[in-house]
Structures are given as C-alpha cells and as structure tokens.
A and B are shown apart, each in its own frame.
Chain A
Amino acid sequence: MNKKIFRSSLLTVCLVLAATIALIMGLLFHFFEKQIQKELANEAGFLAHALENEGAGYFDSFDNKNNRLAGNNRITWIDENGTVLFDSRADVSELDNHADRDEIKTAMKEGKGMSTRYSKTLTEKTVNYAIRLSDGSILRVSTEQYTVVTILMGMLQPILFIMFVALILTLVLSARVSKAIIEPINKLDLEIPENNDTYEELTPLLRKIADQKETIGEQLADAHKKQKEFNLITENMSEGFLVIDADTNLLTYNSAALNLLEITPPADRSVLLFCRAKEFRGVISDVLSGIKAENTMVREERSYSLIANPVYEKESVIGAIVVILDITEREKRDMLRREFTANVSHELKTPLTSISGFAELMKAGDVLENDVTDFSKSIYDEAQRLITLVNDIIKISELDGQSIPYEKETVDLYELSKEVIGRLEKEADKKNITFHLIGGRAEIIGVHKILEEMLYNLCDNAIKYNKENGTVDVLVNQTGDGVNVIVRDTGIGIPISHQDRVFERFYRVDKSHSKKVGGTGLGLAIVKHGALYHHAKLSLESTVDVGTVVTIAFSKK
C-alpha cells in the first residue's frame, strides 16, 4: 500500500513539474523572441538611417576588433545582387553570395524580411532581420538567441534538485498517509466488529465481517454438534471403527479401534503401520480399489472380522470405512456347537450301531438259540443307554430353556444325599467303594428332581472314576448364608488342562474309554446347569491320581 501511494504521488509531482516547466518555457520563450525581433528591427532601422545619411563611410567608424557600434549583433551590408559589401564579423572576401537567403529575398521584394536559422546542434538559433535601403542595397542585422534546449540544459541542475526534494517529500508523506490508513485497520477488534471507532469508509467492511462472523459461528456450532454426535456414536461402539483416506492414512478412529490395533497417537499415519497382517492388507487394498471387502484375521490369539466399505466421491475412491469386530467368542461358540453336534451324533450312533449289528445277525437266522438271549440282552442294554441319553438331553434342554415343569419346594439335602447313596450302593459294592455321609439337616428351596439328579450324577461320577477300594465322602453342611454340598472321591482325578472343560456337554477326558466307563457324557453338564438354575456356585478341585472334590454352594435367598 505504501509503495502504491508513493508511486502515484511521485508520478503526480513529476507530471506537475513537467507541465509547469513546459508552460513557463512556452510562454516566456515566445515573449522573449518577440522582444528580440522588435529590438532587432529597431537597431536595423537606426543603422539604415545612419547609412543612408553617411553612406558607406559609416562602416569605417566600426572598429572591427571592438565592434562597439554593433554591440553583440552582426551587421552585414549586401548590394542588390547579393554580394556582401561589409560584414562586422567576417572577412567580406570569404563570404559567398547572400541573394538566396530567406530574409534577403523577402527584403528585396517587400523592403524588409526576417528569418530564423538553427545551428546543427539545435543549441543556438540565429535571428536575421534585413531591410532594403533606398539605393536597393540590403542591410542585415543578426543576433544569436538560446534555444529551448539550451535553456533547459542550463536549468537541469535546479530541476534535478527540485525533483530530489520532491522524492524525499513524497516518500515521507506517502509513508505517513499509508500509516494513517492502515493503522486503524490493524487495530480493529474483529471479535466485536461493530464496536470499532474508525473512519467511515471502513464501516461497510466491518459490517460484512460481523455478518460473516455470525455465519461462521453458526456453522462451527453445527459442525461441533455433529462431531459430538458422531463421537458419541463411535465411542460407544464395541466394534473398532476406522476411516482412512486413499493413501491408507488414518483420518478417524474410535477408542475400540485404538485398543484393537494398539494405535498410539499421533495417528495420522498409514493404518498399515499399525496392523500389517496379510488379511488386513488384503482388505485395505481391495477396499481402496473400490470393492466392498470382508475377511477374518487372527491377532494375538483373538479372532477379528473385518468389514470395509469404500467411500466414493465423483466415482473415484477417496477413502474407506473399516469396521473391526471381535468375533473370538462367536468363533469359540461356533466351535463348541460343532463339537457338540459331532459328540451327540457319536454318542447316538454307537449304541445304534450295536443294536443294528445284533439285529442283522439275528435277521440272517444263523444265530444259535442260546445266543439269542444274549443278543437280546445286548440290544436291550444299548436301547436303555439310548433312552438314558435322550432323557439326559431332554433334561439339559429343559434346564437350558429355564422352562422347568416342576414346582419349587423345601428340600433337605442331607436326606436327599442319603437317598441317592442308597440307590448307588450296589454300584459302589462292585468296586468295593465305601460311602461316608457327613453332616446334618440342611434345607434349601429348590426343585427336588433336579437336585436329586445333580447329587446322583456327582456321586455316580465319584464311583465311576474311583479306584478299587476307594472312598466317597459326601459332606452336607449348613453355612452362614446357605448350604454346602461337597462330594470328595479318591479317584483318578482330572488333569488341570481338562478341568475347565469337564462341565461341557459330552466332554470326556479320556475319549477312548467312554464306552467302558459308561454314562452319557452329560452328567456334569446337568450338574452345572442345575447349579445355575439354583443360583448355586460350583467349584472343582482335582489332583491326578489323588482325587476330585466338587463343591456346590447353595445360598438361601
């Protein structure tokens, strides 16, 4: 701004100066020229008069050296043919014929004539005035005059000086002017544009700023609100959420994604820096080529499902949204379900294969009379096993669905245990196992049938997995806030690696011996679900070759 003001001011000053000089020069020069011509005419008049009176002898009084009479002017006398008779400055013999000179020609014709001639350098100008005498000869008076150029050259120094002064003045003034314009603008309080007290030319600007400020404020508030809503949604997602640009740089992410990928802020870098698993890279490169991509990946022993959608703008992919789901639990459940299905089929198939085999032999007819009884017994046993299995499955699905068709009542667990032990005595005797029932009356509110089933299964297991001549202790005792039932055996125990899983359906520690030991593989699962139904705590402690202790802690509601 300062420069602009300076330049225009300087230009103005220069133009004014030039115009003034031109004007003065034009007027004055013209005036002086007229004056000179007038003086020249007068002098010529006087000289002509003198020459007429005194004749050629008049020139004798001229002292060529001093040229007093003629002063600075040059006097030339020419006869009617143009031959120079006298010249105050030059030797007559050296001068040529003057008849073709403008002023002489005019004077011969009209009695007087005038002409102006410029020197070759234009620095000097000669003004000639010629007058015709009565005898036809011509008297010419010439004088030199400075031209405009010469005068200007002479004035160059003062002009330059004035220019220099003008330059300095302009510099100072323009700086002050621009400062005066800019300073109020710099001091504007843009927070409250209306409150500024400046020159009126700024008022429209201030009004505009105020309007704009209001619009920006509204837009900003709107954007903040949207951002907040967005954050609220994404932050409360348990799924990882990422937005990336076309160069795979992270734009947005939620804290779930931060945890899943272990992103450490500042996270404006490529997402591939945080996860470079093959599946992840594949999904990212697919999605950035415009295809919706899905895959699963395993990272630090957890399974994740990746779902990525490309983001388009004008038909080109400008980025992508990636959602990461932790599907470890789902995968685990799926695996359990697959295992369960496989186990059920196996457990169902085994007795059926036996039944089918015996039946086939009998159908063929080549079975001895005595064997038929044996075969029938085997078929009957296997069928019984199937019925028990199906019953167990029904029981467990009842417990699963929590739709138990029995009423809750007061049950004395001590009495119940006694009853169960009585039923199992025969089994126990086979392996010479002794039961000890310790404790006293302990009542809880529960479903008699389920509780009986639980105790039966626990005691049954304690016998099945016991050694010969072992013992089974059943402790029923009342505690402060409930009843504890502890079943302790001196059996083969359960290895630590299997302890977590024995309560699963059909889970068996030693799969190869399931048939020999018997049972459906659902016993402990029923115990677990029964305990869940009664809100009891189930715990298991076991040492291989020492024994197993199962504790059910019922609480009185």
Chain B
Amino acid sequence: MRNKFDRQLSQLNTELVTMGALCEEAITNAVKYLTDNEENSKNMCLDADTQIDKKERDIETLCLKLILQQQPVAKDLRVVSAALKMISDMERIGDQASDIVEIAPYVAKKGTLGETHIREMAEAAIKMVSESIESFVKMNLDIAWLVIEHDNIVDDLFDKVKRELIKSITERHDDAEALMDLLMIAKYFERIGDHAENIAEWVIYSITGEHRKRPENKESSTKGGIG
C-alpha cells in the first residue's frame, strides 16, 4: 500500500516537472514568435498550451486520487495540496503565453519592439519560470527565494515599458493601437512573473510548511488588471 503511495507521489512529481517544462516551452516559443515572427514557434506554443491544459486535468485527478485513497498527512499532504495550487498557476502561464502569441502579429509588424524594454522583460519572465520549475525539481529553497526576488525586476521592467509606451503614444499618434497591444503583452509578462513567483511560494510551502508573508504593497500590484 505504502509502496503504491510512494509510486503515486513520484509520479505526481514527474508529471509536475513535465508540466513545468511545457510551461517553459510555451513561454519560450511565445517570445520567439514575438521577436522573430516564426510561424513554427507559434504552433509549438499553442501546442504546448493544449498539452498544459491536459496535464492540469491529469494532475488534478492524480492529486484527488492520492487524497482520497491514501489520505496523506504532514509533508505528503503539503506536497499534494501545493501541487494542486501550482498547476493552476502553471495553467495560467500557458494561457498567457498563448495570449501573447495571439496578439503578437499586430505588434511585430509595426516594429515597435526594439524601442522598448519588452525583450528584457520577456527574458526575465522566462528566467523566472525556468527557475521556479528548477526550485521545484531540486526542492531548493534558495532558488525559490531567488525567483521571488526576481519578480521585482519584472515589475520594474513593466513600469519602465509602460512609461516608454506612454512616451511613444504622445510622440507618434498613428501607432497607438499597436502600442496598446504591446502594453497588454508587457502586462502578460508581468502576470507570468507573478505566477512563477506563486509557484516558488508553493515550493517554499511544501518544503517548510509555512506560507511566505506577502508584503502589503505587493497585494495591490497583482490584483486586478489584465489577465
């Protein structure tokens, strides 16, 4: 019985890693499509998103089965409940990556990308997602904390991009629509960063059993908005 439980737990772990890898794939391809406008990357991103949705359901079923049949306690229960929360964050990352892919054609044509810090934002977001998955794989607290710190970088970059876009809009009136789309994309990256941060927090929770206290100002920046 225990043996089966252990096997199911390790299966859960593997499935989560796979789902995380799919998230990395989705966002990397979304960024590639945004910058290089390669049709192949778009398909790969959308494909990864479909797989992410399927994985979410699979993992959810597995978690519920684990809870019902094995009634885990202590750390095992934390791992299962953290997994349940993590998959919804991962699923959102996948959705936002495919959202970026959908808006990207309207932005890239106008060639406004190079003038803003959106590339840096994309890179920072990819890095956060990668590292949050890495922290889960290695069950490493240090990496998880690093991800949480990195969220500030993405948030700052978002503010920077926003200011740059405002400046562009006031200077060139014709491009306003494309620039607004770009702002949406920037917001998506910012949200992806938040989700990656959430994943890192769940990693911390499943290791230590304690929730990280969110600073007050953080609450307001993640609430509402687009996404």
Contact surface of A with B, Cβ cutoff 8 Å: 247-249, 269-270, 272-273, 276-278, 281
Q: Which residues of A contact B17 (CB under 8 A)?
A: 270, 272-273, 276
Tell me the bound Cα distance from A272 to B21 in angstroms.
9
| B154 interfacial by beta-carbon distance below 8 Å | no
Q: B14 contacts which of A272, A277, A278 (Cβ < 8 Å)?
A: A272
Q: Which residues of A contact B20 (CB under 8 A)?
A: 276
In the complex the two chains form, is A270's CB within 8 Å of B21's CB? no
Tell me the bound Cα distance from A272 to B12 in angstroms.
12
29 A-B pairs within 8 Å (CB atoms) are namely A247-B7, A247-B10, A247-B11, A247-B14, A248-B14, A249-B10, A269-B10, A270-B10, A270-B13, A270-B14, A270-B17, A272-B14, A272-B17, A272-B18, A272-B21, A273-B13, A273-B14, A273-B17, A273-B137, A276-B18, A276-B20, A276-B21, A276-B24, A276-B133, A276-B137, A277-B21, A278-B21, A278-B25, A281-B18
Tell me the bound Cα distance from A270 to B13 in angstroms.
8
Interface string of B1-27 (1 = CB under 8 A from A): 000000100110110011011001100
A281/B10 contact (C-beta < 8 A), A273-B137, A276-B133 known = no
Tell me the bound Cα distance from A273 to B13 in angstroms.
9
The prevalent SS among residues of B at the interface is: helix
Q: Which residues of B contact A276 (CB under 8 A)?
A: 17-18, 20-21, 24, 133, 137
The 5 closest A-B pairs by CB, nearest first: A276-B21, A270-B14, A273-B137, A272-B17, A272-B14
Tell me the bound Cα distance from A269 to B24 in angstroms.
21
Task: Tell me the residues in window 10-63 of chain B with beta carbons closer than 8 Å to chain A beta carbons.
Answer: 10-11, 13-14, 17-18, 20-21, 24-25
Tell me the bound Cα distance from A276 to B17 in angstroms.
7
Q: Which residues of A contact B137 (CB under 8 A)?
A: 273, 276
Tell me the bound Cα distance from A215 to B105 in angstroms.
73
Residue of B nearest to A264 (CB): B138
Tell me the bound Cα distance from A269 to B10 in angstroms.
8
Q: How many Å from the CB of B21 to the closest CB on chain A?
A: 4
Tell me the bound Cα distance from A277 to B25 in angstroms.
9
Q: Which residues of B contact A247 (CB under 8 A)?
A: 7, 10-11, 14
Tell me the bound Cα distance from A269 to B11 in angstroms.
10
Interface residues on B, range: 10 to 19
Residue of A nearest to B25 (CB): A278
Q: How many Å from the CB of A466 to the closest CB on chain B?
A: 39
Q: How many Å from the CB of A375 to the closest CB on chain B?
A: 47
Interface string of B117-156 (1 = CB under 8 A from A): 0000000000000000100010000000000000000000
Tell me the bound Cα distance from A272 to B10 in angstroms.
11
Residue of A nearest to B24 (CB): A276
Q: How many Å from the CB of B119 to the closest CB on chain A?
A: 20
Q: Which residues of A contact B24 (CB under 8 A)?
A: 276
Q: How many Å from the CB of B46 to the closest CB on chain A?
A: 14
Tell me the bound Cα distance from A178 to B20 in angstroms.
61
In the complex the two chains form, is B13's CB within 8 Å of A269's CB? yes
Residue of A nearest to B29 (CB): A278
Q: Which residues of B contact A248 (CB under 8 A)?
A: 14
Tell me the bound Cα distance from A278 to B13 in angstroms.
17
Q: Which residues of B contact A272 (CB under 8 A)?
A: 14, 17-18, 21
Q: How many Å from the CB of A307 to the closest CB on chain B?
A: 21
Q: How many Å from the CB of A498 to the closest CB on chain B?
A: 26
Tell me the bound Cα distance from A338 to B21 in angstroms.
34
Residue of B nearest to A273 (CB): B137
Task: Tell me the residues in window 173-200 of chain B with beta carbons closer than 8 Å to chain A beta carbons.
Answer: none
Residue of A nearest to B139 (CB): A273
Tell me the bound Cα distance from A269 to B7 in angstroms.
11
Residue of B nearest to A249 (CB): B10
Q: Which residues of A contact B133 (CB under 8 A)?
A: 276
Q: How many Å from the CB of A522 to the closest CB on chain B?
A: 36
Tell me the bound Cα distance from A270 to B133 in angstroms.
15
Tell me the bound Cα distance from A339 to B25 in angstroms.
31
Q: What 8 new A-B contacts, CB under 8 Å, besides A247-B10, A273-B17?
A: A247-B14, A269-B10, A270-B13, A272-B14, A276-B20, A276-B133, A277-B21, A278-B21
Q: Which residues of A contact B11 (CB under 8 A)?
A: 247
Tell me the bound Cα distance from A273 to B136 in angstroms.
9
Tell me the bound Cα distance from A277 to B7 in angstroms.
23
Q: How many Å from the CB of B11 to the closest CB on chain A?
A: 6
Residue of B nearest to A278 (CB): B25
Residue of B nearest to A248 (CB): B14
Q: Which residues of A contact B25 (CB under 8 A)?
A: 278
Q: Which residues of A contact B14 (CB under 8 A)?
A: 247-248, 270, 272-273
Q: How many Å from the CB of B130 to the closest CB on chain A?
A: 10
Q: How many Å from the CB of A499 to the closest CB on chain B?
A: 30
Residue of A nearest to B28 (CB): A278
Q: Which residues of B contact A249 (CB under 8 A)?
A: 10
Tell me the bound Cα distance from A279 to B152 in angstroms.
32
Q: Which residues of B contact A277 (CB under 8 A)?
A: 21
Q: How many Å from the CB of A272 to the closest CB on chain B?
A: 5
- Interface-centre pick from A247, A277, A278 (highest chain B CB count, 10 A): A278
Q: How many Å from the CB of A287 to the closest CB on chain B?
A: 15
Q: Which residues of A contact B21 (CB under 8 A)?
A: 272, 276-278, 281
Task: Tell me the residues in window 75-116 of chain B with beta carbons closer than 8 Å to chain A beta carbons.
Answer: none
Tell me the bound Cα distance from A281 to B15 in angstroms.
11
Q: How many Å from the CB of A300 to the closest CB on chain B?
A: 13
Residue of B nearest to A270 (CB): B14
Tell me the bound Cα distance from A278 to B10 in angstroms.
20
Tell me the bound Cα distance from A179 to B10 in angstroms.
46
- Interface-centre pick from A249, A270, A277 (highest chain B CB count, 10 A): A270
Q: Which residues of B contact A270 (CB under 8 A)?
A: 10, 13-14, 17
Tell me the bound Cα distance from A277 to B20 in angstroms.
11
Q: How many Å from the CB of A397 to the closest CB on chain B?
A: 40
Q: How many Å from the CB of A253 to the closest CB on chain B?
A: 17
Residue of A nearest to B11 (CB): A247
- Interface-centre pick from B13, B14, B25 (highest chain A CB count, 10 A): B14
Tell me the bound Cα distance from A273 to B134 in angstroms.
9
